[in-house]
Amino acid sequence: MSEHSFATRAIHAGQAPDPITGAIIPPIYQASTHVQDGIGGFREGFEYNRAGNPTRSSLETQLAALEGGVEALSFASGLAAEDALLRGILKPGDHVLLGNDVYGGTYRLLTKVLAPWGIETTTVELADAEAIRAAIRPETKIVWLETPSNPLLKIVDIAQIAEIAHAAGLTVVVDNTFASPALQQPLALGADLVVHSTTKYLGGHSDVLGGAVVFGDDRHFDQVKFQQFAVGAVSAPLDAWLTTRGIKTLAVRMRQHSENAQAIAEWAESRPEFADVFYPGLASHAGNEIAAKQMSGFGGMLSLGLSAGADAARAFAESTSLFQLAESLGGVESLIGYPPEMTHASVRGTALAVPENIVRLSVGIEDVSDLIADLEQGLERLAR
C-alpha cells in the first residue's frame, strides 16, 4: 500500500474484503481462542487472543501503513502502549529525556510508576538544542517528545532532535496523538518510534479506548511485542474494529478540525479576554515556521490563556454548551477542559505545571460559526 496516498491507505490498508463471504468490511473476530491443527499447528499464526487476533492484526497493519512504519502494535489504551514501550526498551538505571510540556499521564507513568523501578527522568526544553545536549547522560536511552505538545501547543523540530539524539546513540519517541499521521509523519523526519492514544483522532468518535506503538524499524519490536504478550494490555476485537472504522475518515476529519481551529484561533487573537492564544497555525506562534515545515496542517487543538486569570478560566470552561466540559480530545464533537485540574492535575506543583489561566479546546467538526458563537456567549456569561 506504500505507493498509495494517505487517504487511500487509511481506507484500504489491512482491510481486504472477507475471502469467504465477500463482505467489504472485515468481520469482528470476537473469539478468545483459536482451534489448532495439531499441537502447535496455528492457523495463520493465531493461537490465543492475548497473543494475537485477526481484527487487531488488521488494525496494526493499518496503523503501520499510516505512519510509514515497518510494524505496529495495538493496546488497550495510550498509556498501556507507553508502558509496554518503556518497559520493553528500558532497564533499571536508565534515563529518559522528556519534553517540558507533555500529557500529564506520561509524566505520571514515568515519575510515579517507573521511577520506583529505577528509571530516571529529566524534563527539558526541547526547542533548545544545547539544553538537550547538556541533559544527555551516559545512561540516557530515550528522548520523548510531543509536537504539538499538550496543552501549550509547543512545536519542536523532530529532525533536529533526531540528529542530536542519534549522534548520542539514543532512541527518539514521538507522541503523535495531537497531529495524527494525517498531518505529521515523525518516522519520515527521523524518529524511531511513534506512540498514539488511538482514543483520540484515530478513533475520532469518542466511543473507544486504545493505544498504539509504530516502529520505524525492527530494532525494538520484539521487546515491545513481548511486553504486549506477557502483560496483556491488548485492544479487544470490538475496540480494534471501532478504531479501524474511525481511521477510514481520518484524512477528511483532520482537514475540518484544522480549518475550524484556525478560524477560532484567529477569532481569539482579536479578543481582549484572551492574553494568550496557543495555536501553531498563527503567525504569532513561536513554532509556526517549524510547524509549517513538518506538518501538512495545524490540527484541531488549541489553548487559551484568560486575561483575568485562573478564576476566569475555570468559569469560562463551565460557560459553554457546544464546547462540552470533558476530558479527552479528538472526537467529532467539540470539548473544553481546564488542564490544571483535569488532564494535567498530575503535574501540579512540578516543573510541568500548566498555567492556572489556561483552558484547552478540542475543536470538533461542527459548523465553525456555531462554535464561535458558543465561545462568544461563554465570554458574555463570564462578564456578567
DSSP β-ladder status, 358-362 and 301-306: antiparallel
CA distance 327 to 342: 7
**Any residues with CB less than 8 A from the CB of 288 and at least 6 apart, and which?**
155, 280, 281, 282
Which of the following is catalytic: 29, 103, 107, 279?
A: 103
Taken in order 184, 369, 318, 270, the sign of the CA dihedral is positive
Estimate the crossing angle of helix 54-67 against helix 237-247, to 10 degrees: 30
Angle (CA) 16-230-47 rounded to 5° is 45
Which of the following is catalytic: 9, 141, 154, 200?
A: 200
248 noted as active-site residue = no
245 noted as active-site residue = no
Work out the number of other CB atoms within 10 angstroms of the CB of residue 334: 27
219 noted as active-site residue = no
Percent helix, strand and coil across the chain, each rounded to 5?
A: 40, 15, 45
Which of the following is catalytic: 83, 94, 157, 175?
A: 175
356 sits in which H/E element: none
CA distance 263 to 363: 10
**SS3 (DSSP) at 19:** coil
List the grid coordinates of 267.
477569532
CA distance 48 to 84: 19
112 noted as active-site residue = no
Which of the following is catalytic: 50, 108, 248, 314?
A: 50
Angle (CA) 85-83-141 rounded to 5° is 50
Distances (CA, A) of 324 to 50, 305, 374: 36, 18, 10
CA distance 211 to 239: 10
φ/ψ of residue 276, rounded to 5 = -140, 140
Active site residues: 50, 103, 175, 200
